[in-house]
């Protein structure tokens, strides 16, 4: 977490009750209901809050850090996928990405190891920090400590590196250096916060993803 500057202003109080958070890292908003989803990382859970509510509801995790399928393990980036009514969660300390259908009590594995193993192969991740999903259900993961963005066709656990060079960091246009966040636009152009290079990289879909789209 070398890029993250934690500012311990003594105005906040952390905690684990339903009106408290402990290192929230990411938010996603449901444009229909207005509900806000928050990755409450150090409580190993995702909370939902309705507008102006003074407390939230645990929608995922909340049973301590761990690798069983009802637990999360320092979740960081989240993506709300409306078509599947689910949250995709970059489950940082378990080295995987999981999908949690809203209302369900457990996750299903989307990428990486279900047991939490890290690695550099096409089926493993190392400290994933963020995830996004396109309209076809394909998944893009900021595989931060492998310095790469992994692409998983919907339903596949075998990924392809679409930007960056696996395991090798660098500062030219082919390399990344701890990618932290990913976002897509409606044309499937990919935006990556390339944290330790202090830049945002834009990868054009036509260049990088034509194997998958056409
Ligand atoms: C939330 O609270 C603010 C401030 O009191 C108010 O202006 C706003 O209308 C409220 N929103 C909803 C959806 O209740
Ligand atoms: C996962 O671990 C938690 C905490 O130990 C436990 O409460 C829960 O029952 C376990 N769930 C499963 C599905 O094993
Ligand atoms: C990554 O996995 C290796 C074993 O393959 C393990 O020794 C190491 O502690 C793991 N690193 C982290 C940060 O989990
Ligand atoms: C993943 O895909 C690559 C490229 O198609 C293939 O060579 C490899 O065998 C696959 N790995 C697994 C574990 O399916």
Range in 87-91, 106-110, 162-166, 204-208 with the lowest mean pLDDT: 204-208
* Domains of the chain: total: 1
DSSP letter string, 130-159? EEEE-TT--EEEEEGGGTEEEEE-TT-S--
Spacing, Cα 64 to ligand 2 middle (Å): 9
Question: With 60 as the cut, is the pLDDT of residue 136 above it?
Answer: yes
User: Is 1 inside a domain boundary?
Assistant: no
Q: How far apart are CA 106 and CA 159, in angstroms?
A: 23
Spacing, Cα 5 to ligand 2 middle (Å): 32
| Substitution site in 71, 98, 106, 115 for ligand 2 pocket (most atoms within 8 Å of beta carbon) | 71
The string of pLDDT tens digits covering residues 53-104 is 999 999 999 999 999 999 999 999 999 999 999 999 999 999 999 999 999 9
Return the half-sphere exposure (C-beta side, CA atoms, 13 A cut-off) of residue 22: 14
User: Is 173 inside a domain boundary?
Assistant: yes
User: Is 41 inside a domain boundary?
Assistant: no
Q: Tokens 């940082």 correspond to what residue?
A: 92
Spacing, Cα 155 to ligand 4 middle (Å): 14
The residue segments making up the domain with residue 131 are: 63-203
Q: How many CB atoms lie within 10 A of CB 114?
A: 15
User: Is 11 inside a domain boundary?
Assistant: no
Spacing, Cα 63 to ligand 4 middle (Å): 34
User: Is 98 inside a domain boundary?
Assistant: yes
- Average pLDDT over the chain, rounded to an integer: 91
Q: What is the CATH number of the domain that holds 159?
A: 2.120.10.30
User: Is 134 inside a domain boundary?
Assistant: yes
DSSP structural state of residue 192:
E
User: Is 147 inside a domain boundary?
Assistant: yes
Closest protein CA for atom 3 of ligand 2: 63
| Proportion of the chain above pLDDT 90, given as a percent | 85
Ligand nearest to the CA of 33: 1
pLDDT range class, residue 206, cuts 50, 70, 90: very low
User: Is 194 inside a domain boundary?
Assistant: yes
**For residue 4, what are its two tokens?**
């993250």
| Substitution site in 120, 158, 160, 166 for ligand 4 pocket (most atoms within 8 Å of beta carbon) | 158
């Amino acid at each position: 977490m070398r890029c993250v500057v934690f500012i311990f202003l003594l105005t906040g109080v952390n905690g684990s009750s339903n009106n408290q958070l402990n290192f929230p890292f990411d938010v996603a908003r449901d444009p229909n209901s207005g509900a806000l989803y928050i990755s409450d990382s150090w409580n190993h859970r995702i909370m939902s809050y309705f507008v102006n509510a003074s407390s939230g509801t645990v929608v995922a995790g909340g049973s301590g850090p761990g690798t069983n399928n009802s637990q999360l393990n320092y979740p960081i980036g989240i993506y709300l996928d409306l078509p599947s009514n689910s949250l995709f969660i970059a489950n940082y300390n378990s080295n995987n990405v999981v999908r949690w259908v809203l209302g369900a009590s457990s996750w299903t594995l989307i990428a990486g190891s279900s047991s939490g193993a890290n690695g550099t192969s096409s089926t493993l991740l190392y400290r994933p920090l963020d995830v996004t999903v396109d309209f076809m259900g394909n998944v893009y993961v900021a595989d931060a400590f492998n310095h790469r963005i992994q692409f998983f066709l919907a339903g596949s656990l075998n990924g392809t590196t679409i930007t960056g060079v696996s395991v090798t960091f660098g500062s030219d246009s082919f390399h990344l250096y701890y990618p932290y966040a990913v976002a897509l636009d409606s044309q499937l152009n990919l935006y990556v916060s390339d944290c330790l290079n202090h830049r945002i990289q834009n990868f054009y879909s036509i260049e990088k993803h034509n194997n998958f789209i056409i």
